Structure 1
Amino acid sequence: MVLSRNLKNAVIAFLVPLPSIIFYLSFLKHYDSAIATTTASSYDQLYSWCYHHPLLLANALFFFNVNVLFWIIGQFQGSHWLIDPYWTVIPVMLVHYYASHPLTQFDWWRSWIVVTLTWVWSLRLTHNYFRRERWQWGAREDWRFSEMSQQYGKQWWWISLFAVYVSQQVFLIALSLPLYIVHSVNKPLSIWDFVAIVICVCGIVIAYFADTQLYDFMIRNDKLKDLGKPMMPVLDSGLWYYSRHPNYFGEQLWWWGLALFSWSLGYGWTFVGALVNTLCLAYVTRLVEERMLRKEWRAESFRMYQKTTSVWVPWLKSYPCAAKYKKNA
């Protein structure tokens, strides 16, 4: 049963991006004749529009392929799991789309650096996703979606289109704007590009070690639970000693570092994507901590953790914490 579901979801995950990929490859094959034709057919007009509006095309493909198709699949499966693994894949697809569009122009070194960094970020996040999900496809959906489905009840079927998918389009397209700018401006590398590289790499490394430490902590707790022993209520070692959410901090460094690439090219307004994502993550942080406090066996320890430890930015404890965290009996 589990193997069959895993295989079915894996097949779905590999097939769902095909409509966008096939359409885009067709556009690349025919756009030159479409823009040169004076008496254009409807297809030529469509390809001509795609040629002149690369950013709008990216949004159109996202809307029809992700918002609509993913949402329909979610209705049939009763789970909106599909958007989670694709959060890690879509930026990679976007960076190659922007780099291959006929109107593109860019510095080869900057493009190569940004594409490579995007792949490294994606592989890290994809690995963390499947490691957390025990290497299964679609075993569960994001807990926030599950809570919202209970909150909205029968209305969730249509609300989910906006809450799960349209909102993701706003975030992913906005966050990926620097990928578009990098492939729209041909200027040589500057010192700011190297600063951006350092920030992006630091973000990826911090997020990797934070997620690995969290994963190991959860595995240890699962083993303690199976043995009937008290579980550890709070992870307070490694990077988590200095920050309550070092994984979020690392992820934010990545997106702000990426935005610095476009800022160095004269497009500082693209910081809006990273800013909106930071504000959203601040809200998610509050939800996560409220969820932690709802668990009585760890509530007291977590309150102490909140009082002594920085929220995001790794920092020293506010005062020496001599109290031992209570363990679940």
Structure 2
Amino acid sequence: MGTASNLKRAAVSLLVPLPSILFYLYFINHYKTSTVDGTTLSPFWSWCVDHPLLLVNALFFFNVNVLFWIISQIQKSHWMIDLYWTVIPMMREKWQWGVREDWRFTDMRGQYGKHWWWISFFSVYASQQMFLVGICLPFYIVHSVDKPLDVWDFVAVAVCLCGIVIAYFADTQLHEFVTRNEKLKELGKPMVPNLDRGLWGYSRHPNYFGEQLWWWGLVIIAWNLGHGWAFAGAFVNSMCLAYVTVLVEQRMLKQEYRAEAYRLYQKTTSVWIPWFRSSAFARKKDT
């Protein structure tokens, strides 16, 4: 991708959140002015004050779901939605903005063909908003319930921090593995079929495990504040990630050079939760 194209996509990424930012700044200024002057807020602004969660979701819907979707139709790629989940994908691409979209979106593009343009709005954007609403409910609860810190809050923080650390090291190890294989491919040498070192020697998807620790750590906070029902968002997210795990492993097995090694990996290594590698299959094979 050329420098000009990269800069253009970088500019788009920085400009697209402006509608929400400008609206928020205007709202804060309007609210402060009314407070100082003693004037009554109009019904619209009162609704914004009384229903902050709905306001945030409305902004997300129009600014991300609708605007990002329109931009994706122009660019023929849904790369930008991943950028706003995390900046890591962009950093892995050596700061090449929009170098590629998620492979799952590419597969669905081929699957749905000419209908993908409208199906993508629901499967890529609207669905992700529902996930975000569900998994972020503990944040809303924290601001709605006044309760002193206790031991469960520290347990929740510890779980969240463990999730961040595990996900970081798992993603770093994966990045190094992919980079090393790309260099081997360029040199015409055989690529390493499977990553089974570091955290990946204890779990087939340690990055997913770290991510789930973060969200379930937030659930502990909500539960401790008397809102255990907030687990629903993290639960649905975990179920969706379980489905994604199946898709990822099926994709691995379709790659001829790594299929045999990955089958052995599946039989000896835990799926998500890190655990010691099983040696039973290895002993049976030797026998």
Q: What is the TM-score with the length of structure 1 in the denominator?
A: 0.82
Deviations 1:132-173 (A, max 9, x none): 222111111111111111111111111111011001100112
| Aligned: 1:16 with 2:20 | no
1:82 corresponding residue in structure 2: 80
Kindly report which structure 2 residues correspond to 1:98-109, keeping only aligned pairs within 5 A, or say none. Answer: none
What's the CA shift for 1:223? 1.4
* Structure 2 CA distance for aligned equivalents of residues 310 and 49 of structure 1: 49
- Seq. identity, %: 67
CA contact (8 A) 2:267 2:281 kept: no
What's the CA shift for 1:320? 5.2
* Structure 1 CA distance for aligned equivalents of residues 281 and 90 of structure 2: 35
AA partner of residue 224 (structure 2): S
What's the CA shift for 1:37? 5.4
* Structure 1 CA distance for aligned equivalents of residues 134 and 55 of structure 2: 14
AA partner of residue 25 (structure 1): L
AA partner of residue 26 (structure 2): S
- Unmatched tracts of structure 2, length 5 or more: none
Kindly report which structure 2 residues correspond to 1:87-236, keeping only aligned pairs within 5 A, or say none. Answer: 87-88=85-86, 126=87, 128-236=88-196
What's the CA shift for 1:81? 0.8
- Give the SS at the match of 1:313: coil
* Structure 1 CA distance for aligned equivalents of residues 39 and 116 of structure 2: 47
* Structure 1 CA distance for aligned equivalents of residues 186 and 280 of structure 2: 33
1:91 corresponding residue in structure 2: none
Between 173-182 and 71-80, the greater mean CA deviation after superposition: 173-182
2:64 corresponding residue in structure 1: 66
Q: What is the TM-score with the length of structure 2 in the denominator?
A: 0.93
* Structure 2 CA distance for aligned equivalents of residues 293 and 153 of structure 1: 25
CA contact (8 A) 1:31 1:48 kept: no
AA partner of residue 77 (structure 1): Q
- Unmatched tracts of structure 1, length 5 or more: 89-125, 324-329
- Give the SS at the match of 1:183: helix
What's the CA shift for 1:304? 0.6
| Aligned-residue CA RMSD (Å) | 1.7
2:200 corresponding residue in structure 1: 240
Deviations 1:206-265 (A, max 9, x none): 011111111111111111111111111011111111100000000100111122112211
* Structure 2 CA distance for aligned equivalents of residues 154 and 312 of structure 1: 36
CA contact (8 A) 2:90 2:98 kept: no
* Structure 1 CA distance for aligned equivalents of residues 149 and 59 of structure 2: 31
- Give the SS at the match of 1:296: coil
What's the CA shift for 1:15? 0.7
What's the CA shift for 1:322? 4.8
CA contact (8 A) 1:207 1:250 kept: yes
